Structure formats: C-alpha cells, structure tokens
Amino acid sequence: MMATAPRLRVVPASPDEAGTEAVTEEERLSLVFAALSDPVRRRILQQIEAQALLVSEIAAPFNISLQAVSRHIQVLVRAGLVQQERSGRISRCSIDVGPLFDAAVWLNRYTRYWQGQFDLLGATLAELDEQRAAEESATTAPHAVAAGPAPAAGIVRGPRRARPRRRK
C-alpha cells in the first residue's frame, strides 16, 4: 500500500472569488475596517500573527462557542485578512497582512491633515501659555511710582495689562 500525503484545500474568501465579480478597492477596505471593528476578531488576528493555528486553538482563550469563533473567522476570511486551509475536518488559519497594509496606506493619506491640525493646536496652546505668563507677571510686578503728576485723590492706578498679540 502506498501512503499518500493529506491534500490541502484553500478555502476561498467568498463564493464569488472564482472571478464572477471583482471587488473594488473601496469595498475591500470597507470589509477590512468592518472586520477590524470587533475586538474578538482583532484578538484572533493577534493570535495568528506569529503562526498558523487550528480553529480549536484559536477558540480556546475565548469564552464563546466554537461556532461563534468560526463565524468571526469567516468575516476575517471574507475581508482577506485570514487564509484558511482545510485538510478534511481540520482547518488551519493564518494571517494575510496585505489588506492590513492597504488599510494603513489609506489611513496614511490623512497624516498630513492631522499633522497640520496638531501643529495649529500646538501654536494655539503656546500662545495661550504666553498670554497667561504675561498676565501673571503683570499682576505680580510691584507698583511703579509715576514720574508725572500725582493721581487725583481716591484713584489708585494699578499695573498695566499686557495687550494680546495680534496674529500675522
């Protein structure tokens, strides 16, 4: 008798993966972000980032049914984040970081916008700190004696307040 190696079958990400309908980049990103929105699915990705695991090994740390974990895995497979290989009843899952990279590239487009917002916030906070420092130094400075005529009786002159700086 000749022993044969078990045959592995890669589970398609979706029924239409055979090529009947192409998924646009926007739809793929929507699937990735929807898949990443659930904390259980994010933990599954963390588990399989180092090595491929059986579905039962993935399900072990969770306090949910094996069927629920399988459904989470199927969402990750449809998003392209997980590849699932089957050999009979055994299913092994591994991570595919390609869609994560695509999502990171998409998010990175907004880096320039947010950097500008943070720079503006930093400048505003620095200006507020300068105003507070000027106000504190004006209120704590000793009263200077005026060289001109004495003020009218009953009128007390206080220190001058710093004028706010104008933006250029």
Contact 28, 14 (CB under 8 A): no
What is the dotted CATH code of the domain comprising 9-108? 1.10.10.10
pLDDT digits (tens, 9 = 90+) for 44-100: 999 999 899 999 999 999 999 999 999 999 999 999 999 999 888 888 999 999 999
| Of 6-15, 22-31, 130-139, the least confident | 6-15
From the list 65, 92, 63, 97, the residue with the least C-alpha distance to 80 is: 97
Q: How far apart are CA 149 and CA 155, in angstroms?
A: 13
Mean pLDDT of the chain: 80
Q: How confident is the model over 1-26, as a mean pLDDT?
A: 54
Contact 34, 26 (CB under 8 A): no
Q: How far apart are CA 146 and CA 92, in angstroms?
A: 87
Compute CA distances 67 → 13, 56, 63, 158, whole Å.
18, 10, 12, 77
